[in-house]
Structures are given as structure tokens and as C-alpha cells.
Structure 1
Amino acid sequence: MSLEYLLTTLVVVLAPGGGVLYTLSIGLAHGARASVAAATGCTLGIIPSLIASITGLAAVLHTSALAFQVIKVLGVLYLLYMAWRTLRDSGTLSVEASSEPRASLLRIATTGTLINVLNPKLSLFFLAFLPQFVVTNGVAAMFDMLTLGGVFMLVTWVIFIGYGAGAAWLRRHVIGRPSVQTWMRRSIAGVFVMLGARLAVSER
């Protein structure tokens, strides 16, 4: 594994994409534990795209306009649904991270996973990105791609947790008033709408 790959991965993961925005918004709204759940979910959401790039399914997605559009529409609808559900939730956002129910953490992680699974651009990214750093052929190339993908996921998880921890720190020291929490809820809904809009206008 080359230093070039590690540096490229670091730059790609640090860039403010959908997973970063989601993890930040969850950290601000629900605290550190919830942001770890969001980071974990976003990282797990990479697995289908990685498998697709290794097996060649991403190439089918690249050549099939219908398949690309179907996945994209499903992703947009899901993000808009999450925005609507966030706005409907009138409960108080607790500042204490330890009060986050396990079911809510699972829901946060599931949402993070689906955000990446329903993003067809991610599969196309791995299809174009990973082969550049594979130096073997045949079965060995598949294992190389698995290794590269695993490193990418590990870097993603660590950096996203860092983003979430920073957001949780701001929440604990800045956020507390009900008016601020209302603004936070609307901002999170806005993040979902923005992600949905960006996905809707994306091209292959």
C-alpha cells in the first residue's frame, strides 16, 4: 500500500461530503455517542459500494442509466423523508449523551448506512478510485482491493468520529436553550434536504 493511496484517502475522507455533514449534524443534535453511531453507520454503508466495485456491479450501474436513476431516486426520497421526520419530532434534544436510547443509536447508524448505500455515486467512485492503486492481477487484485477498501473504511470511521466529537463538544458547551434546539432541529432537516437536492442533480 503506497503513501500516495493513504494521502489520497485522507483528502477524500476529510472533504465535506454527505457522511461528514450527517455525522456533524448528529453530533450537534445528540452528542458524542450518537455521532459515533452515525460515523459507524456511514462507514458500514461503504461496504456495498466496495463489493460492487470488486464484483463489477458498479460497471453495470455506470452503463445502465435506469439502474442509476432508480437508486438515485430512492436515495432522494429517503433523505426527504428523514427531513420530514426530523421536523415532526418535537421532543427536547437532551444534552446528556448518556441518555441516548439504544434504539435511537441504532436508528442513527441505520440512517447513516442508508445514506451511503442509496448513493450511486459512491459505487462509481470506488470503481474509478481503487483500481488505480492495484498492482496485481486476478484473484490477488481482488484481495488488494479488499485491503484498500478496508483501509479506506478505517480512515473514514476515525475521521468521522473526530468530526462528531468536535460537534458534540460544541453542543455541550454552546447549545442548551430550547430556541437553539429548535434551530438545530431545523438545521438537521435542512441538511437532509440539501443532501437530497445534491443527489437529485448529480450525474454519472
Structure 2
Amino acid sequence: MPHLDTFLIFMAGALALNVTPGPDMTFVLAQATHRGTRAGVAAALGIGIATIVFHMTLAAFGLAALFAAFPLAYDVVRYAGAAYLVWIAVGMIRNPPKLSEMSAEEGVRTAFRQGFVTNIFNPKVAIFFIAFLPQFVNPTIGPVWLQIMILGTCFSISGTTVNAIVAFGGGKLSEKLKANPIVGRIMGWISASVMLGLAVRLAWSERR
């Protein structure tokens, strides 16, 4: 476990990063406004769990360096992620939100799965953690991989909490608007536009 002062500095930085609007927060908000609060929270959990079980493992064992060494691997993953976001957008347009006809359980499962898969297919997350986390690791106090896993898990919990709060706000707004089918269709287009915007951002972003 990192020293307390290092850990507190890390958490302050993590919170600052997590409250800054970004692709994950935007994705959660779109899910919440499209499917409701529970789906938004499920999307946040999907993103958080994918971060821990996938990206943290990559960072802890140095596998994220693969993207830096082989640009083609990075491009393949990010294009796959962009294509998946486009597929989600098409689904939102074809099936605008109708709370009275929607299975809440199905919406939650779908949002969780989409959040999980979208996060995995964003290689910039892996690159970010492989660059960010080692700054707070001290090899003299214990295994580096364990410190990275601990810090990464705390980062993910912080991010998931922030995104869940965003989901509650978006879900409350959607509950008031979706009673009108026309409004529901408009919200479907807005949510789809957000997904398409994220797809473009992911596909055309440069590797840093």
C-alpha cells in the first residue's frame, strides 16, 4: 500500500480527473437519459468494472505497452470501439425510449454490457493508466503490480461514484420528459448523436 501522503495526493488528482466531463461521463449521461436512472448507474458500473478487471490488469503487468510498441494494435482496438458506439447509436434511433414498454431489467443489463464493452475498446484508457499510475508507485514498499491494482481500484471507485451521481441527474430528467412519445424520440436522437460524437472522437483521436 502506498504511503498515506502519496495516496491522498493520488486521490485528490483522481477526483479532479473524474469530475471533469469526459467520454465516460457523457456515455453514462446518454444512457441515463435514454433508459433511466438504473440504466445510467448500470453503465457506470460496467465502465468501472471494465477499468478494474481489464485496464488495471494491463497496467499492472505492463501489457498496455503493447499499444505503444505496435500502433496497428492500438488502431484496431479503437476502430472496433468506434464501430461499437455507432451500433449503439443506431439502436437508440431505431428504438427511442418508451418507459411504459421498456423492460427495466433488460435496459439495465444492456447498459451495463455496453458500458463494459465500450470501456474495454478504448485503448486510451490503458495508455492513460500506464502513464498515470506509476507516478504514485514506490518499488521499495512492496510489489509494483499490487500498488497499481490498489490505486487503480480506488480510481475506478471514485470515477464510478461520480458517474452514478451523473446518472441520477440524467435519469430524473428523463422520467419527466419521456411521457411524451415525441419527446422520447427527440431524446433518442440526442442520445444517438452523443454516441456518434464519441465514436468520431475515438476513431480520429491521436495516440498520446
TM-score using structure 2 length: 0.90
CA distance in structure 1 between the partners assigned to 2:32 and 2:103 by the alignment: 12
Equivalent in 183, 190, 193 of residue 190 of structure 1: 193
* 1:52-94 Cα deviation digits (max 9, x unpaired): 111111111112111101101111111111111211115x521
1:68 counterpart = 2:74: yes
Deviates more, 1:125-134 or 1:46-55: 46-55
What are the within-5 Å matches in structure 2 for residues 45-194 of structure 1?
Answer: 45-47=50-52, 48-90=54-96, 92-94=97-99, 100-137=103-140, 140-194=143-197
For structure 1, the residue ranges without an aligned partner over 5 or more in a row are none
CA distance in structure 1 between the partners assigned to 2:132 and 2:151 by the alignment: 10
Contact 1:34 1:100 survives alignment (8 Å): no
1:26 counterpart = 2:31: yes
For structure 2, the residue ranges without an aligned partner over 5 or more in a row are none
Identity %: 29
- When residues 175 and 201 of structure 1 are mapped into structure 2, their CA distance, relative to the original with a 3 A threshold, is same
Runs of 4+ displaced beyond 6 Å: none
Contact 1:86 1:189 survives alignment (8 Å): yes
TM-score using structure 1 length: 0.91
- When residues 173 and 84 of structure 1 are mapped into structure 2, their CA distance, relative to the original with a 3 A threshold, is closer
CA distance in structure 1 between the partners assigned to 2:119 and 2:85 by the alignment: 11
C-alpha displacement of 1:174 = 4.5
- When residues 199 and 148 of structure 1 are mapped into structure 2, their CA distance, relative to the original with a 3 A threshold, is same
CA distance in structure 1 between the partners assigned to 2:107 and 2:177 by the alignment: 23
Question: How many residue pairs get matched?
Answer: 201
Whichever residue aligns with residue 58 of structure 1, its letter is A
The equivalent residue for 1:39 is 44
Contact 1:79 1:196 survives alignment (8 Å): yes
Quote the RMSD (CA, aligned, Å).
1.8
What are the within-5 Å matches in structure 2 for residues 5-16 of structure 1?
Answer: 5-16=10-21
Name the SS for the 2:59 alignment partner.
helix
CA distance in structure 1 between the partners assigned to 2:200 and 2:140 by the alignment: 39
